[in-house]
A and B are shown apart, each in its own frame.
Chain A
Amino acid sequence: MATAIISFSQVSKRYPGGYEALKNISFSIEPGEMVFITGHSGAGKSTLLKLVAAVERATAGMVLVAGQNVSSMRRAAIPFLRRNLGLVFQDQKLLYDRSAFDNVMLPLVVTGHVWRDAARRARAALDKVGLLERERANPITLSGGEQQRLCIARAVVNRPNILIADEPTASLDAENADTIIEVFRSFNQVGVTVLISTHDEKSIRKLDPRVLTLNHGNLA
């Protein structure tokens, strides 16, 4: 499909050691879609997301993201691919040696934004996830839900076209998980393509979203 923003065609991923995480996967996602990837633990959800962000490379097949072939991308081009992706991780990967504000500033510093403009955008991102009044706090002092929202703020501050979240609600209670999903939905409503993996199908059922289900590396 020419208009797809993410498309997998006959993608397989075999890790060194022979473990085959994904087997001949094909699907495509249109711009502005919100898609959930579900499946049991070890089904290949994380691997699929890593292939989109070029953290891992496919062993076979083609992964297209925003028209670029990620599976054969030069190393030097990868940073520029990632600047168009907002990445949210299960373990957040926040930096605890600096404030919440500085964590959100990081993607803008990396891309060389003017400081004043960057600070304005960082505050806007913190505001969107409801953490503006905590901007001076060290991330370690934030609750699990707040840390996850901070991670989302960092992912969206660069205004990416695609938001990718790997198990963002895994370590949260139902109420916090709902808030997180709601935050993702609000970004999706302004046109951001959202791709979220979760093993918790219950919390997303009421949204009635498009769901890709993985089972032992196969698309169900």
Chain B
Amino acid sequence: MSGWLRHHWLSFVQTMRRLAATPLASLLNVLVIGVALALPLGGYVLLGSLQQFAGGIVTDAQISVFLAPDASKADVSELEKRLRGSAGVQSVEFVDRDKALAGLRRMPGMAEVVATLRENPLPDAFVVTFTANDSALVQGLEREFSKLPKVAHVQTDSAWVQRVNSLIRFGRTAILLLVALLAFALVAVTFNTIRLQILTQRDEIEVAKLIGATDAYIRRPFFYLGVLQGALGGLIACAAVVIGIVLLNRDLAGIGTLYGTDARLQLLDLGDCLRVLAFSGMLGWLGAYISVSKHLSQIEPR
């Protein structure tokens, strides 16, 4: 093993010992970082789940074209030809009014309601799927279709998805701002930890300089400390978010059985956790770097 590698190992061991030497202070630092990171991370998970939920309901841009009640079979096939012939249309699905009623009857709690009906109130309909989720295209075709004969009403199914998506975009921007702010806080916390550590080890640093330690040698344990503290904070953030999701999912499962949906929040996967660790570790390194550059040069042997 080369001397350089050995020193890296020694620095790491020494850093762990220093963290363990002041367990309460280290724990509090790590907790502060963990809580600060858990906020945006939790928000990110919520948004991701919301987006998936919205996306799972309508994946493509769709509109429903409802026909007038007096439309004949010939009108239907004529209209279907027109719809299929329009540019930007991927598929056209005919939903028979009887089939639609049968579908409605299958939905939980709706069978009793349907049974009270004397006749089928539902119209025939086409579900038109577009090749691209382009709001200009969808709106253009929506106007065009509503002017066709025997068309009673055209409804854009994706409108509310777009609304949800723009809300998610808003949420994402808010989270990014939060991340930027808390990243700054994390750097500041690390900066201060390292500053205190440098002050406590003032004598050791001075002696190390006098016996021929290079600046890199003296800096290394502090970088380890910064990175380790940041990464441990990231680990706590991941753990807090995962525990939070598990608890929320238990409640959501109860709501889900009531409403007949399978609503659940996504758990963080290993990749997400590793990215969080890398990010927080990097911020820790940055805080350590700024602190070491500022404070270490002030300690010169006299």
Closest to A75 in B: B215
Instruction: Kindly provide the distance from the CB of A7 to the nearest chain B CB, expressed in whole angstroms.
Output: 21
How many interface contacts (CB-CB < 8 Å) are there between A and B? 59
Instruction: Kindly provide the distance from the CB of A117 to the nearest chain B CB, expressed in whole angstroms.
Output: 11
Known: A55-B301, A93-B203, A106-B207. A79 touches B7 (CB 8 A): no
Known: A93-B203, A95-B203, A110-B217. A53 touches B6 (CB 8 A): no
Contacting residues, chain A, for B211 (C-beta < 8 A): 82-83, 87, 106-107, 110, 154, 158
Closest to A155 in B: B211
Instruction: Kindly provide the distance from the CB of A17 to the nearest chain B CB, expressed in whole angstroms.
Output: 15
Residue-wise interface mask of B (283-301) relative to A, using a CB-CB cutoff of 8 A (1 in contact, 0 not): 0000000000000000011
Q: Is the CB of A79 within 8 A of B212?
A: yes
Q: Is the CB of A111 within 8 A of B212?
A: yes
Closest to A80 in B: B212
**Alpha-carbon distance between A95 and B202 when the two chains are bound, in angstroms:** 11
Chain A interface size range: 20 to 34
Q: A residues 67-98 with Cβ under 8 Å of B? A: 75-76, 79-83, 85, 87, 93, 95, 97
Instruction: Kindly provide the distance from the CB of A90 to the nearest chain B CB, expressed in whole angstroms.
Output: 12
**Alpha-carbon distance between A114 and B9 when the two chains are bound, in angstroms:** 13
Closest to B3 in A: A112
**Alpha-carbon distance between A55 and B209 when the two chains are bound, in angstroms:** 10
Q: Is the CB of A79 within 8 A of B213?
A: yes
**Alpha-carbon distance between A111 and B3 when the two chains are bound, in angstroms:** 8
Closest to A115 in B: B6
Closest to A96 in B: B203
Q: Is the CB of B212 within 8 A of A110?
A: yes
A137 is an interface residue with CB less than 8 A from chain B: no
A113 is an interface residue with CB less than 8 A from chain B: yes
Q: B residues 161-217 with Cβ under 8 Å of A? A: 203-204, 206-215, 217
Closest to B10 in A: A109
Contacting residues, chain A, for B208 (C-beta < 8 A): 106, 110
Q: Is the CB of B214 within 8 A of A82?
A: no
Closest to A113 in B: B3
Which 4 pairs between the two chains have the least Cβ-Cβ distance?
A112-B3, A83-B212, A82-B212, A107-B211
